[in-house]
């Protein structure tokens, strides 16, 4: 994830996500994962038997497993993998489940996301192999049968009906894909497949690890985290079906499609197969003669005029096409294949500054992304994942970066549908970069690792290539591969017809063939002031920063109380030097000292937990907003423009105190709404470096006849400066226009040291289309650039924002109405500053809650954390699932920096 000193701490990098687990779990947003019971030693694990059909092209996932530690199983592998073997005392596991995920679901261990409860789980339990056992039924054996799977962590011996069909030397690596012909072993009736899963060590295996994101799970995610499919078909199998698209750019008037597949004769005699297919209304067919056990490529060419082009969200539609293929022998279907794909063109050249610059369908795209984390135990919950992706769109982000932990197919299906670009790649700081990362963790490679790496790359390329949301693969993270490793990856990518840019690394590195990465990984990863982002150096707004943020993101008080004990919460706000279990296992990020010192130095020492969280939300709002605003403003600069920024991170895989725009339970605080404000489609913003007021237009069409207004206030609401600028125009597609420049605070008579800036943008009708409020100081933060390290730039003196503490309390009323709709419930809230003085209500937050005062989550607000001057009002709309009210009447809790908390019921 980032460069470190010669003797580095556990590195923070990010692994992004791979596939995962557990259909038995309910929503991951609940406070506990499972019930309190532990299975009786006499009770067999209740795992459904999978019924497998016989139709050509059937691919049936195993429905689940019974699992047990090998230390508790004395029987031989042949016995364990035979039908009828008793599983008393074994544990049920979902179709995609790590060992620990299954044990948590079965109540063996308490919620590991609370306090330090995860420390109570003994690591020794997972230092021996575990058995995964599943039964499936086949009505007849006339069809051929294959087991098809990936996602084994870290390796496994595989057995079917008492016979070993693969060894751990072959089934090795989380991403390698395996297809085993088991036709001769399958019998009518019940069949048993068993995996003897070996323990995982990310430093020794090409699997998955957590670096410094969170406290790593005691089982290191050992298990099976993707579907194991039972495939049935005739003598000829269709494999590797995909579509290579070539779009005419810039006209977009036509596209050439090359449909490819492999026809494989699995029988011992020659056959002739007819392969028929259709795509985009065009049908085609070809006859293929195949010798016994031979494979031939099958290719079709299709030309489209006026294709339906796939665009990222906000740039156009997201149509998808379908490919259908059928192979028949003697008129009988033998196998089928179906793929969904999009037509789009992605290029990412290096600009004149050497920075990578993405273009989609010929149009420039400023990458605005977030680093993705899966659930710590790799539990897959489609609804929970979809909720987070919808949050990303709500924030105005267009990209998700996955460093390792590359999610299952459904994730990319959702990204295709929502128009979210994805940047998958291998992870840093473990075995994946052990050959090239100097003295960081991760074993150097042996001869046995290269085929595993190539098979991993081949499998992921084949899986991801048809998804229009996938716009690159990062073959390195903190370090670029050496010549031998790069060739290993590139050969696999070429063989898979990979047709989007291959990036050498997420850091400023080069590889012998793919060349310069065009990216930077200069941090920061810990607190820096908002003005930091405007400098065109280090992590500032120039080039493509693949991972960066001001570090800690303290969640809301609701979430903190769910994840920590009262004693831990007291330490949180009272002791900056205390090690925080919910921050990171890294010694660099073990405490909140840098962050807490800045919070106290700028806003004043916290006086309570509530005060600490209140100040944290204000600080996170201003910092996240500044990060995205700086990159937005600099995106169209003639010199050293900003081309991409990935917030580190978008979310956390557990209950965390850092690197997250939204917390584990999908609650939203200052960081979330700061990002949402910065990325609004038409936006007025302040520049910390030169005091310019800039309008950024992320819409496609230009905006004209706008009026920008800037007003400066003392913290008590006294107006000290006011200026309107009519006739502001700005082109579309991310362009910006400077409306005015604010005077230096020292030149504004009577302006207090801490002051407020209100910016508004109105259209030709006088309607307000953007509002932005800043709290600034006549004494700015001072950065010590000379002592910049890999994770931050020190601050030698802080901006004086303590004047905010003297702002008078301002009451805010709320009128609430709720209506049910076809896609959920909508609650509309009109908040109004009813104060009699001059002071605004700063950062007024509205939380949707149930009758017990608990947040209703997930929820998407049209706007939030608003600042209102006396008499002003704002109407905010919240959309959410009706079921998430749990039968309660919706209420809203209103609070703010200087607004007393009050709860209002819906009318």
Q: How far is 808 from 820, CA to CA, in rounded Å?
A: 38
| Main-chain phi, psi angles of 473, to 5 degrees | -130, 130
Beta-carbon count within 10 A of 43 CB:
11
> CA-CA distance, 645 to 627, in Å (whole number)?
9
Active site residue 632: no
Spacing of C-alpha 338 from chain mean position: 27
State the DSSP string of 342-361. -B--EE--B-TTS-B-EEET
Distance CA 646, CA 367 (A): 8
Chain-centre distance of CA 529, in angstroms?
Answer: 25
Q: Which helix (H) or strand (E) holds 626?
A: helix 609-634
- 393: tokens are 């769109």
Supply angle C-alpha 225, 227, 228, rounded to 5. Answer: 115
Residues with Cβ within 8 Å of 824's Cβ and at least 6 positions away in sequence, in order, are 879, 880, 881, 882
For residues 567 and 559, is the Cβ–Cβ distance under 8 A?
no
Q: Given the DSSP bridges, would you call strands 50-52 and 130-138 parallel, antiparallel or unpaired?
A: parallel
Separation CA 855–CA 82 (nearest Å):
49
Residue 547 falls in the annotated catalytic set: yes
The single residue of 355, 440, 547, 622 carrying the catalytic annotation is 547
Q: How far does Cα 445 stand from its chain's mean position?
A: 29
In DSSP terms, 831 is beta-bridged to: 814, 874
How far is it, in rounded angstroms, from Cα 652 to Cα 14? 10
Contact call for residues 283 and 256 (beta carbons, < 8 A): no
Q: Comparing C-alpha atoms, which of 133, 173, 159 is closest to residue 19?
A: 173
Given 387, 440, 478, 800, the catalytic residue? 478
Q: Report the run of H or E that residue 462 belongs to, with start and end.
A: helix 449-464
DSSP state of 118: G
Token representation of residue 255: 């596209």
**Dist. CA 520–CA 518, nearest whole Å:** 7
Pairing of strands 543-548, 642-647: parallel
Q: What is the rounded distance in angstroms from the CA atom of residue 258 to the CA atom of residue 488?
A: 25
- Cβ-Cβ contacts under 8 Å for 421 (sequence gap 6 or more): 312, 358, 360, 365, 367, 369, 398, 399, 400, 415, 469, 470, 471
Beta pairing partners, 279: 282, 323
Peptide bond into 839 cis (omega under 30): no
Q: Where are the beta strands (DSSP E) in 269-357?
A: 271-279, 282-290, 295-305, 321-329, 332-341, 346-347
217 DSSP assignment: P
Residues catalogued as catalytic: 478, 547
């Amino acid at each position: 994830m980032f460069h470190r000193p010669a003797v580095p701490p556990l590195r923070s990098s990010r692994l992004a996500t791979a596939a995962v687990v557990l259909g038995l779990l309910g929503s991951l947003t609940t406070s506990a994962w499972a019930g309190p019971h532990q299975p009786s030693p006499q009770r067999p694990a209740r795992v459904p038997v999978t019924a497998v059909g016989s139709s050509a092209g059937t691919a049936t996932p195993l429905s689940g497993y019974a699992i047990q530690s090998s230390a508790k199983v004395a029987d031989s592998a042949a016995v364990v993998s035979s039908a009828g073997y008793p599983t008393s005392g074994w544990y049920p596991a979902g179709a995609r489940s790590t060992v620990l995920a299954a044990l948590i679901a079965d109540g063996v261990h308490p919620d590991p996301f609370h306090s330090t409860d995860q420390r109570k789980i003994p690591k020794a339990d997972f230092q021996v192999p575990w058995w995964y056992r599943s039964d499936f039924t086949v009505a007849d054996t006339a069809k051929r049968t294959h087991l098809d799977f990936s996602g084994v962590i870290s390796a496994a011996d595989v057995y079917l009906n008492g016979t070993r069909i693969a060894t751990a030397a072959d089934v090795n690596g989380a991403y390698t894909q395996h297809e085993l012909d088991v036709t001769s072993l399958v019998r009518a009736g019940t069949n048993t497949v068993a995996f003897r899963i070996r323990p995982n060590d990310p430093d020794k295996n090409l699997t998955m690890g957590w670096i410094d994101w969170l406290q790593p799970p005691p089982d290191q995610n050992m298990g099976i985290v993707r579907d194991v499919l039972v495939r049935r078909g005739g003598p000829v199998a269709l494999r590797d079906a995909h579509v290579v698209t070539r779009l005419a750019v810039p006209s977009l008037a036509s596209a050439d499609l090359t449909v490819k597949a492999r026809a494989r004769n699995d029988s011992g005699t020659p056959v002739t197969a007819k392969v028929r297919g259709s795509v985009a209304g065009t049908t085609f067919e070809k006859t293929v003669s195949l010798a016994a056990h031979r494979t031939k490529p099958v290719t079709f060419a299709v030309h489209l005029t006026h294709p339906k082009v796939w665009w990222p969200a906000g740039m156009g539609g997201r149509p998808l096409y379908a490919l259908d293929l059928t192979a028949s022998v003697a008129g009988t279907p033998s196998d089928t294949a179906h793929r969904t794909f999009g037509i789009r063109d992605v290029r990412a050249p290096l600009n004149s500054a050497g920075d990578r610059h993405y273009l989609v369908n010929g149009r420039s795209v400023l990458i605005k992304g977030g680093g993705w984390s899966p659930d710590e135990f790799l539990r897959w919950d489609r609804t929970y994942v979809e909720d987070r992706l919808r949050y990303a769109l709500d924030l105005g982000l267009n990209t998700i970066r996955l460093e390792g932990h590359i999610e299952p197919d459904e994730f990319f299906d959702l990204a295709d549908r929502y128009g979210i670009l994805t940047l998958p790649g291998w992870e840093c700081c473990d075995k994946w970069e052990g050959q090239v990362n100097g003295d960081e963790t991760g074993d150097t490679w042996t001869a046995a690792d290269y085929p595993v790496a190539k098979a991993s790359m081949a499998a992921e390329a084949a899986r991801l290539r048809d998804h229009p949301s996938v716009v690159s693969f990062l073959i390195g993270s903190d370090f670029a591969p050496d010549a031998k490793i790069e060739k290993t990856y590139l050969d696999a990518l070429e063989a898979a017809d990979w047709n989007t840019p291959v990036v050498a690394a997420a850091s400023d590195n080069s590889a012998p063939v793919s060349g310069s990465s065009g990216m930077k990984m200069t941090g920061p990863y810990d607190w820096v002031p908002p003005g930091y982002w405007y400098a065109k150096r280090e992590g500032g707004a120039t080039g493509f920063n693949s991972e960066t943020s001001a570090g800690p993101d303290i969640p809301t008080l609701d979430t903190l109380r769910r994840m920590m004990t009262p004693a831990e919460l007291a330490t949180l706000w009272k002791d900056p030097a205390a090690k925080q279990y919910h921050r990171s296992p890294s010694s660099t990020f073990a405490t909140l000292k840098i962050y807490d010192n800045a919070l106290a130095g700028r806003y004043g020492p916290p006086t309570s937990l509530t005060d600490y969280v209140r100040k944290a939300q204000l600080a996170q709002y201003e910092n996240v907003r500044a990060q995205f605003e700086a990159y937005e403003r600099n995106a169209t600069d003639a010199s050293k423009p900003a081309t991409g920024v990935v917030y580190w991170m978008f979310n956390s895989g557990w209950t965390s105190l850092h690197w997250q725009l939204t917390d584990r339970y999908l609650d939203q605080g200052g960081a979330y709404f700061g990002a949402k404000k910065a990325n609004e489609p038409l936006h007025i913003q302040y520049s910390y470096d030169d005091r310019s007021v800039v309008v950024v237009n992320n819409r496609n069409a230009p905006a004209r006849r706008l009026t920008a207004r800037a007003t400066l206030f003392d913290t008590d609401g006294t107006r000290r400066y006011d200026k309107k600028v009519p006739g502001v125009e700005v082109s579309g597609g991310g362009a910006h226009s400077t409306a005015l420049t604010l005077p230096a605070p020292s030149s504004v008579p009577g302006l207090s040291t801490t002051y407020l800036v209100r910016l508004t943008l109105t259209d030709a009708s006088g309607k307000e289309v953007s509002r932005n409020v800043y709290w600034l100081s006549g004494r700015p933060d001072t950065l010590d650039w000379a002592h910049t390290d890999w994770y931050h730039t020190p601050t030698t003196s802080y901006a004086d924002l303590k004047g905010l503490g003297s702002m008078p309390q301002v009451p805010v009323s709320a009128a609430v109405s709720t209506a049910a709709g076809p896609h959920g419930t909508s609650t509309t809230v009109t908040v109004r500053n009813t104060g009699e003085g001059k002071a605004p209500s700063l950062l007024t937050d509205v939380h949707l809650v149930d009758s017990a005062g608990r947040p209703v989550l997930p929820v998407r607000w049209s706007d939030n954390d608003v600042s209102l001057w006396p008499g002003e009002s704002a109407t905010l709309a919240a959309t959410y699932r009706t079921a998430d009210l749990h039968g309660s009447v919706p209420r809203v809790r209103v609070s703010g920096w200087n607004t007393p908390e009050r709860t209002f019921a819906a009318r």
